[in-house]
């Protein structure tokens, strides 16, 4: 779609390399800084879908920037500036090879595992007799390996330490940061009439210090329910009203796609893509509590190049 940025190929001052992720393109500047461009690509089931979602990158980047600022007292983070609505510039760290997933409620992947009869996930016990979307007695951390390609995989704390992926000392600090960040995210969400159901955090190390990196509390990394009506829907076994990427996953599942071999992504019409944009804007306005202002999209790539180059030259 013409007003969605799905591919980038910049050459910024001091650029040493670029990593194209599922959604973000990360440019290495002088081995010191990272320029992270939140594209309008969308992925589900670890597959990049064929059409972009207009304004999605802007939504994700601006939510993440706000939450990085709102949690900087808990843990230092990588963000230095947001020179463009779709770009964050920050310090380059050595990332830990795990994603810290924290779940407050039994839903999504955890519920799918639970339905199959499993009562532990990543070594964490899940009580008997729970219903879909029910709150856990306390949040559980269910880490995954961070795959460069393909699927991230569930892993337990014991395995992470045993395999030397993260040291025990560092991992236990990551756990503390994860629970504190989730608690703050829940408090901010509650003020806006939302429930932060589950989310994930990524961390790195810089000069021996643990740093929060990447995005936080966005609809791509988190799941939100509306608090109003939550208990009634739970009691009736009804689906929760939610603001997250899960609605895209559910649409794909309903149309016969779960990322498995031989399956084809259903057609993403312009109307469907615009409807997804509307959901992302809805989440932004609900979680941030202010109106979303759409950036100029006549030539997104030129705008980004201009804004980032100016920032790098003047820093």
Domains of the chain: 15-93+251-314 (3.30.200.20), 95-244 (3.30.470.20)
User: Where do the DSSP E strands lie in the chain?
Assistant: 15-20, 24-29, 33-38, 43-44, 47-48, 79-84, 87-91, 94-95, 98-105, 120-121, 124-125, 135-141, 144-145, 194-206, 209-213, 222-226, 242-244
Q: What pLDDT digit, counting tens, does each position of 72-97 carry?
A: 999 999 999 999 999 999 999 999 99
Note the pLDDT of residue 1. Answer: 45
Note the pLDDT of residue 306. Answer: 97
Of 273, 247, 263, 230, nearest to 108 by C-alpha is 247
Asked if 277 contacts 55 with a C-beta cutoff of 8 angstroms, the reply is: yes
Of 221, 213, 214, 231, nearest to 283 by C-alpha is 221
Task: Band the pLDDT of 245: cuts 50, 70, 90.
Answer: confident
Higher pLDDT, 148 or 26: 26
Tell me the mean pLDDT in the region 135-142: 98
Asked if 219 contacts 243 with a C-beta cutoff of 8 angstroms, the reply is: yes
Of 90, 71, 70, nearest to 80 by C-alpha is 90
- Show the tokens assigned to 157: 């704390």
Note the pLDDT of residue 150. Answer: 57
Note the pLDDT of residue 151. Answer: 64
DSSP H/E element including 5: none
Task: Band the pLDDT of 185: cuts 50, 70, 90.
Answer: very high
What distance lies between CA 177 and its chain's CA centroid?
17
Q: Which of 7-11, 139-143, 216-220 has the lowest mean pLDDT?
A: 216-220
State what percent of residues in the chain have pLDDT above 90. 89
Note the pLDDT of residue 148. Answer: 62
User: Does residue 244 have a pLDDT over 80?
Assistant: no
Note the pLDDT of residue 85. Answer: 98
Asked if 247 contacts 279 with a C-beta cutoff of 8 angstroms, the reply is: yes
On the CB side of 242, CA atoms within 13 Å amount to 24
Higher pLDDT, 229 or 244: 229
- Show the tokens assigned to 213: 């990196």
Of 90, 86, 88, 63, nearest to 5 by C-alpha is 86
User: Does residue 138 have a pLDDT over 90?
Assistant: yes
Note the pLDDT of residue 263. Answer: 95
Tell me the mean pLDDT in the region 144-158: 81
Asked if 53 contacts 277 with a C-beta cutoff of 8 angstroms, the reply is: yes
3-state secondary structure of 46: coil
- Show the tokens assigned to 169: 């000392």
User: Does residue 315 have a pLDDT over 90?
Assistant: no
Task: Band the pLDDT of 149: cuts 50, 70, 90.
Answer: low
User: Does residue 2 have a pLDDT over 80?
Assistant: no
Note the pLDDT of residue 181. Answer: 98
Query: What's the predicted TM-score (pTM) here?
Result: 0.90
Q: What pLDDT digit, counting tens, does each position of 33-72 carry?
A: 999 999 999 999 889 999 999 999 999 999 999 999 999 9
Average pLDDT, the chain: 94
Tell me the mean pLDDT in the region 242-263: 90
């Amino acid at each position: 779609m013409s007003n969605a940025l799905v591919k980038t190929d910049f050459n910024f001052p001091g650029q040493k390399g670029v990593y194209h992720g599922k959604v973000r393109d990360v440019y290495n500047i002088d081995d010191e800084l990272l320029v992270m461009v939140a594209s309008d690509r969308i992925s589900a089931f670890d597959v990049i879908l064929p059409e972009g979602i207009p304004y999605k990158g802007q939504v994700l980047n601006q939510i993440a920037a706000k939450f990085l600022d709102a949690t900087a007292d808990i843990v230092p983070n990588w963000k230095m500036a947001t020179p463009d609505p779709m770009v964050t510039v920050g310090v380059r760290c050595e990332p830990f090879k795990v994603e810290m997933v924290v779940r407050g409620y039994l839903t999504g992947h955890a519920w799918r595992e639970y339905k199959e009869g499993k009562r532990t996930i990543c070594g964490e016990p899940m009580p008997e007799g729970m219903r879909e979307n029910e709150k856990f007695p306390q949040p559980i951390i269910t880490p995954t390996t961070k795959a460069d390609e393909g699927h991230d995989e569930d892993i337990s704390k014991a395995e992470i330490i045993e395999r030397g992926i993260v040291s025990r000392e560092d991992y236990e600090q990551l756990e503390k940061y994860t629970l504190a960040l989730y608690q703050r995210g829940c408090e901010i969400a509650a003020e806006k009439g939302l429930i932060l159901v589950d989310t994930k955090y990524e961390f790195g190390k810089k000069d021996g210090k643990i740093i929060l990196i990447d995005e936080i509390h966005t609809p791509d990394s988190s799941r939100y329910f509306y608090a109003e009506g939550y208990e009634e829907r739970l009691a009736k076994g009804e689906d929760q009203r939610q603001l997250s990427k899960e609605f895209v996953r559910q649409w794909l599942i309903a149309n016969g796609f779960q990322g498995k071999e031989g399956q084809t992504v259903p057609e993403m019409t312009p109307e469907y893509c615009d409807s997804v944009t509307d959901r992302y804007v809805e989440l932004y306005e609900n979680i941030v509590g202010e109106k979303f202002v759409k950036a100029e999209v006549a030539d997104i790539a030129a705008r980004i190049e201009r804004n980032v180059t100016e920032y790098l030259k003047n820093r």
